[in-house]
Chain A
């Protein structure tokens, strides 16, 4: 089994607990060994960068350095954590002065960052290291006839990491098709869910979620597949508030991609954290 340095991120222990459960279940089934990084800290989401760049880079670098010490790739299921770690790793590699400054700080915790670790999103590991075919081969309960809106959100795709297609990526849809689902043409797939504006500018964020839900409904979506706790929380937990605010009547469930893959692999729903949603699942999803 290939080992990975797993950085869950804070949400996986609270609002996104089902993402954590389904990640562990599906990776075990697929032969990926996620080793949780020892004593990891919060990556700061967007808040640290509001305060100070050095401060932000230092706190993010600590987690990458822990993975580096173990000689493992840094893998996270959260797009916000992923973007922070990816660019911190990249900037420190490119800027020796910055790296020296940060390494002076990291020395307080007996850590050093050389930039030898790869920072990766969990979705990337599923697609690149396991592959569509292997996931298809593990599918015992294909999601036949289920219309899935594969939602990328922002930080996985933007800013561009390495020359990849960012205006119309297709890899997430392909993954959903590999487990038998019908990936709808979801034009809003890389449009923002509002992120932390849900706290700091509620009206704006609800409006942004409204547009995503409208698009999903226009495509007769059965379930929105997500790859980030923030996207999932905004689309799912705040759907009720969208309905109140705009007089709409949406009831579109949102599940993590690991939950959908787990269902397709025949893993019991309870072990995937299914049942913890605030927007109820349609029976066809579990049939």
Chain B
């Protein structure tokens, strides 16, 4: 008989390979929330989010912008007295949401990640100008103009190349990736 996992069990399994203690060991002390430099921009503090996972509030967790507002600075992780890899949890939730195509609307993060990965599959290297269209269109007019201004200033300083570089053994790189994950449209 198949056993249906609770959401919090799913998340714990997801973090099996990330190191650190399971989220169920959280003592709700709030050190993470007090340490996080981006907490003011999160729907829920990391402490709240962990509490919500424990309470199996799957829909609310998936709708939260918290893990897409994480800058991966690892400050919470190194200070967590329960030894939870909180940054790893944020990455885990991003993957959980990306693979299920479930996330809060109006987020730039998921689309940016997708473009980034596709770009690397095309060339083997990151190339900033190719990424800009994925996010500037979501900015307001003022921000978009500001971004264009910055980009042209960088161009005139010789900091913005016109063409992306390609690695030589790109086919091998793609084959490597095919050996670990299904690529779908990105191949």
Interface of A toward B, CB cutoff 8 Å: 10-11, 13-18, 39-42, 44-55, 58-59, 62, 98, 101-102, 104-106, 108-110, 154-155, 158-160, 166, 190-192, 194-197, 199-205, 207-208, 211, 237-238, 240-241, 244, 275-278
Contacts and interface: CB of A to CB of B under 8 A. Distances in A.
A275 to B, nearest CB: 8
The 4 A-B pairs at the shortest CB distance, nearest first, are namely A192-B73, A158-B74, A109-B172, A204-B41
Interface stretch (B1-9, B21-29, B54-62, B156-164): B156-164
Contacts of A207: 40-41
Interface in B87-125: 87, 91, 94-95, 98, 107-110, 112-113, 116-117, 120, 124-125
A49 B74 contact: no
B109 A276 contact: no
Interface string B62-98: 0000001101111101100000000100010011001
Given A49-B91, A278-B153, A109 B169 contact: yes
Contact of A13 (B91, B108, B161, B172): B161
Q: Is the interface of B mostly helix, strand, loop or mixed?
A: helix
16 contacts: A10-B126, A39-B168, A41-B124, A47-B112, A47-B116, A51-B113, A58-B176, A59-B177, A159-B77, A192-B71, A192-B75, A199-B108, A200-B109, A204-B69, A241-B146, A278-B150
A166 B157 CA distance: 35
A45 B112 contact: no
Given A50-B95, A108-B179, A45 B126 contact: yes
Interface of B: 17-18, 37-38, 40-41, 68-69, 71-75, 77-78, 87, 91, 94-95, 98, 107-110, 112-113, 116-117, 120, 124-128, 131, 135, 139, 143, 146, 150, 153-154, 157-161, 165, 167-169, 172-173, 175-181
A47 B173 contact: no
Contacts of B124: 41-42
B125 A41 contact: yes
B91 to A, nearest CB: 5
Given A197-B71, A199-B112, A207-B40, A106 B176 contact: yes
Contacts of A203: 41
Given A15-B128, A53-B17, A200-B108, A58 B180 contact: yes
A192 to B, nearest CB: 4
A194 B167 contact: no
A276 B157 contact: yes
Contact of A158 (B73, B127, B181): B73
Nearest to B129: A14
B154 A237 contact: yes
Contact of B159 (A59, A102, A108, A276): A276
Contact of B117 (A51, A105, A191): A51
A6 to B, nearest CB: 16
B152 to A, nearest CB: 11
A202 B177 contact: no
A3 B153 CA distance: 36
A106 B75 CA distance: 33
A108 B175 CA distance: 6
A151 B19 CA distance: 28
Contact of A192 (B37, B113, B160): B37
Contacts of B68: 200-201
